[in-house]
Structure 1
Amino acid sequence: MNNHKSTAQYNWKGRPSETIQYWHQQVRCIDDLSIQDLNPKKKIGLLGYAVDEGVRRNQGRVGAGAGPDSIRKVMGPMAYHLPKNLNILDYGDIFGEGSSLEELQKSTEENITKLLETNHFPVILGGGHDLAFPHGMAALQFTAAKNETLGIINLDAHFDLRELNNGQGHSGSPFLQILNSTKAQNKKCEYLCLGIQRAANPSSLFETAKTTGSWWMESEDCTLENWSSVKNTLDSFLSKVNKIYLSIDLDGFSSAYTPGVSAPSPMGFSPDFALKVLEYLAKSKKLLTMDVVELNPAYDNDHSTAKLAARCIEFTLRKLWE
């Protein structure tokens, strides 16, 4: 089974410059996924999850498999403000042709684990939100080995705590899968979702959130005007965990900002609110790994969704290294 493809260098391009001024000049593409940078110095590892099957199983509109390359193309021309000596390595994509979702998730978990173990800060580009299951399990195993508690913070309109479909995971089930695995393995994990929309989550999912001990804030409370309450929730959550896995589902934003997603909604939080949360988490010094999911380029007018995804990534990394 060969479910990996390296990133073509033409996906990282932008204005020419004699000095490093743009992202495309700093990113180095790695052809072989098995070769990890073993330098103990902290670095950034990009990995794409070019997979649609979980969205299809969850009855969403497919197309998120093209998300990783779309994000790369808009990041390349972006101005670069991180340290010039910081290694940023693009390890290509896990992709879905000829493999089951479960096989792809196993490969994804293994490779994110390698990134964490070799002192990368992983940035995983989706892809459907089923990515969260292998990503979260990799982070959980990594923190558990250090006897640390993992916190998962999900910026999303949906809990993604749905039951399996015919025994199979999908883009709506990853956090229930993680929490069930955590309980079965007697590991430590907390889950917080910011941006929940009642119209997108039936009452049964609120009950599941309660029974699993999940935390959440609803979309109408996720505003800058209500920041003191959001901050109190974040502070309470952060006090219970050692490390954070951050997942940004682009459908948590209003479709005015993110038309190109698997499940668009006219409601949702604003970019200003999301950036406030991202800065707060970066400054907490507990952020371990992150992903951005559910970008569907087929519906992305003027690449606005991809650009917002790229800005969220760039902003978080810049605040991490300040």
Structure 2
Amino acid sequence: MTPLRHPTPPHIWTGRPSDSLQYWYQAISCLDDLQIKKPTNGKGIAILGYAGDEGVRRNLGRTGAAKGPESIRKMMASMAFHLAEDVEIHDLGDISTEGEDMESSHSLISKTVTELLQNHYFPVLLGGGHDLAFAHGRGIFDYLIPKGEKLGIINLDAHFDLRTLNNGKGHSGSPFFQLANDYQSQFHYLCLGIQKAANPKVLFETALKHKVRWMEMEEFTLGNWETIAQTLDNFCLQVNKIYLSIDLDGFSSAYAPGVSAPSPLGFSPELAFRIFDYLAKTRKLISMDMVELNPDFDRDNATARLAARCIEYILRKQDF
């Protein structure tokens, strides 16, 4: 079954009227197709949504994440714009899963990510379930491996997402297991914010098998920044490029109630933004995604606003 791509209606990007470029909605160009051309000024930003819930359903989570991309866009639209005015920012719309055929949508996402990187775009993918990370990561590997460059994956998350396949099929709990098996010695993964109550012993065993590095919730705190920074140093110095994945369920539900798997525990936005600052200084960040927003359970768009603020901050700190 062919996956569908839905262009983003321009009216999603609306905000306070202004005669000059002051807000994000004014900087966005919504494309009607996936014909990707190099940006005029050498580097651009491409937003791609994944309107998919099948991976969450397969992982027995509460569905609704397919509505996440639209909610994030709406919250981004009215934010003040502080990037260079000549940065090209394109919205490529959403890729959706038809029926249960998640694999076809993953293939199109991987292909699109590779093409975006080849054409000097910084991809920003909006989920959707965290199964997106398998498609996203595969697209980055397909771009970097021929160049001989080593990719490091940093995941801010309460979960390893190293679960095995269900009846041979991937799901929102298996993306990094799939990447580990497909890329083996090229798989370098750091997970920050792991909660033991959300990860059975077998997942820690799987993490050790694949040489995953992680920090548990109890040590992943602002008060322990020196240790966190040393962990990041050790990881980032060993790779050429970094792919950042942010699962909103890693935040405390006080900040992110609208997720597929909420937790009263978790990290704070202040700590996450400290990580973003660190990664910006490495100049190695190549792509990012934001996953597991479930608008059905959000409160006053708090989670969508948090997702939008994270994305805006990361992009503002990049060298465009």
For Structure 1 versus Structure 2, the TM-score category normalised by the shorter chain is over 0.9
Q: Residue in 2 aligned with 1:15?
A: 16
Secondary structure at the residue paired with 1:217? strand
- Displacement of 1:98 in angstroms is 4.2
- Pair 138,2 (structure 1): closer, same or farther in 2 beyond 3 Å: closer
Whether contact under 8 Å (1:148, 1:188) holds in the other structure is: no
Secondary structure at the residue paired with 1:301? coil
Whether contact under 8 Å (1:24, 1:75) holds in the other structure is: yes
* 1:76-119 deviation line (CA, Å, top 9, x unaligned): 00000000111110000001234600111001101111111110
Q: Give, as a single letter, the amino acid of the residue that structure 1 aligns with 2:13.
A: W
Q: Distance in 1 between matches of 2:132 and 2:145?
A: 20
Whether contact under 8 Å (1:82, 1:321) holds in the other structure is: no
- Displacement of 1:221 in angstroms is 1.1
Secondary structure at the residue paired with 1:15? coil
Q: Give, as a single letter, the amino acid of the residue that structure 2 aligns with 1:48.
A: G
Q: Give, as a single letter, the amino acid of the residue that structure 1 aligns with 2:69.
A: P
Q: Residue in 2 aligned with 1:87?
A: 88
Q: Residue in 2 aligned with 1:72?
A: 73
Match of 1:295 among 279, 293, 296: 293
Report matched runs for 1:45-194 at 5 Å.
45-98=46-99, 100-183=101-184, 188-194=186-192
Whether contact under 8 Å (2:259, 2:292) holds in the other structure is: yes
Q: Residue in 1 aligned with 2:259?
A: 261
* 1:226-259 deviation line (CA, Å, top 9, x unaligned): 0000000000000110000000000000000000
Match of 1:306 among 295, 304, 307: 304
Whether contact under 8 Å (1:54, 1:101) holds in the other structure is: yes
* 1:158-205 deviation line (CA, Å, top 9, x unaligned): 00000000000000000010010002xxx6230000000000000110
Q: Give, as a single letter, the amino acid of the residue that structure 1 aligns with 2:250.
A: G
RMSD: 1.1
Q: Distance in 1 between matches of 2:83 and 2:140?
A: 24
Q: Give, as a single letter, the amino acid of the residue that structure 1 aligns with 2:7.
A: S
Whether contact under 8 Å (2:151, 2:242) holds in the other structure is: yes
- Displacement of 1:2 in angstroms is 4.9
Whether contact under 8 Å (1:36, 1:114) holds in the other structure is: no
TM-score (norm 1): 0.97
- Pair 116,315 (structure 1): closer, same or farther in 2 beyond 3 Å: same
* 1:254-293 deviation line (CA, Å, top 9, x unaligned): 0000000000000000000000001111111000000000
- Displacement of 1:40 in angstroms is 6.3
* 1:15-72 deviation line (CA, Å, top 9, x unaligned): 0101110000001100111344454611000000010000000000000000000000
Secondary structure at the residue paired with 1:302? coil
- Displacement of 1:223 in angstroms is 1.1
Q: Distance in 2 between matches of 1:2 and 1:157?
A: 30
TM-score (norm 2): 0.98
Q: Give, as a single letter, the amino acid of the residue that structure 2 aligns with 1:130.
A: D
Any unmatched runs of 5+ in structure 2? none
